[in-house]
A = this chain, B = another copy of it.
Amino acid sequence: MPSIHDLTTPALLLDPDALQRNIDCMSEALPGERLRPHVKAHKSTTIARRQYEAGHRRFCCATLREMEGMAMAGLGDDLLLANETLDARRLAALDARITVAVDSPATIAAAAKGGVREVLIDVNVGLPRCGCAPEEAGKLADRARRESLEVRGVMGYEGHVVGVAERDQRSDGCAKSMQLLVAAHADVGGEIISAGSSGTYDCNRWATEIQAGSYVLMDTAYAKLGLPFVQAFVVLATVVSVSDRYAVADCGLKALGMDHGNPAIEDAKVLFCSDEHVTFVPEDRPARVGDRIRVVPAHVDPTVAYHDRFHLVRGEEVLDDWMVDLRGW
């Protein structure tokens, strides 16, 4: 059996037991269609299949490439592009049930012209990003129906509150956002109110389905929220240089999403990252050149997007490789 010492670094390591624990924990809280797993965090149809086997048949994607890959992998029972697109033709060709978020006459026209048949009205519930004004949602739904699109309901992402550290504040913010979404839903109709994330999965009581993705793998940002999910992946790195004040490992800006800040290393203080390096101060025992260390990213999604595979690892044994097969656009 190959060992982690045989791997080229930097390398994504995936703990299959932690992964399954996270999937099971979420499935217990939100069984079946109560969860619409978001694939954008892991970008892997192999991980999506584990979620499917746990009872979740509806999935959520952020890109056309993710939609295509999920359909090709046979995971297309009910795929939602939780994002606006002008290029809906790529979706209509897929052997899958396709729903697209729309928030404007232009995206409605693109969906209709591209051959997509079902949409959700994307409503802005506070995050300054996509989504129509709540009071416009009903009119957009009417317009979509006039263009012969089936309107399945509404979507609205409370992304501005999902990272709030204090649970009560996070829950209050979620409630305010969902009041807007529920009101819009009354104007729109349909069966679906789609919202939420790993940060609000247990306090969003208004959504009919929660779009959570990061819970499967986790990162240091989500770890601060006191969620019941465990860190299931790390970036393995090799110490390549040691001085009397710090050590340097081969895991840098091109192997880590950096928008949430520096990664973490157990028993060490991270000083900074450069293109191919992380400089850190070991706080327990001295580092030696050749040591393999585990680097925990601050933000899972843009980290995974830099890598082409997960190495499944138990202890130091490499059990399998799972491709990150939904990268690109």
Per-position binary interface string of chain A over residues 26-44, scored 1 when its CB falls under 8 Å from any chain B CB and 0 otherwise: 0000000000000010000
- A25 close to B (CB within 8 Å): no
B253 touches A128 (CB 8 A): no
Q: In A108-144, which residues have CB < 8 Å from any B CB?
A: 124, 128-131, 133
B248 touches A253 (CB 8 A): no
Chain B residue numbers with a CB within 8 Å of A302 are 253-254, 258, 275
Q: In A84-102, which residues have CB < 8 Å from any B CB?
A: 84-87
Chain B residue numbers with a CB within 8 Å of A253 are 257, 259, 299, 301-302
A329 touches B241 (CB 8 A): no
Contact of A40 among B64, B276, B305 (CB under 8 A): B276
A290 touches B240 (CB 8 A): no
Chain B residue numbers with a CB within 8 Å of A187 are none
CB distance from A252 to the nearest CB of B (A): 8
A301 touches B275 (CB 8 A): yes
CB distance from A304 to the nearest CB of B (A): 9
Chain B residue numbers with a CB within 8 Å of A104 are 241-242, 289
Chain B residue numbers with a CB within 8 Å of A103 are 241
Residue of A8, A106, A130 contacting most chain B CB atoms (<10 Å): A130
Offer 5 A-B interface pairs, CB within 8 angstroms, sorted by A: A8-B64, A8-B329, A83-B240, A258-B258, A258-B259
- A238 close to B (CB within 8 Å): yes
Question: How distant is the Cα of A274 from the Cα of B160 in the complex, in angstroms?
Answer: 11
Question: How distant is the Cα of A289 from the Cα of B122 in the complex, in angstroms?
Answer: 15
With A8-B64, A86-B240 known as contacts, the answer to whether A305 contacts B245 (CB < 8 A) is no
- A306 close to B (CB within 8 Å): yes
Question: How distant is the Cα of A159 from the Cα of B241 in the complex, in angstroms?
Answer: 16
Q: In A250-264, which residues have CB < 8 Å from any B CB?
A: 250, 253-255, 257-259
CB distance from A221 to the nearest CB of B (A): 12
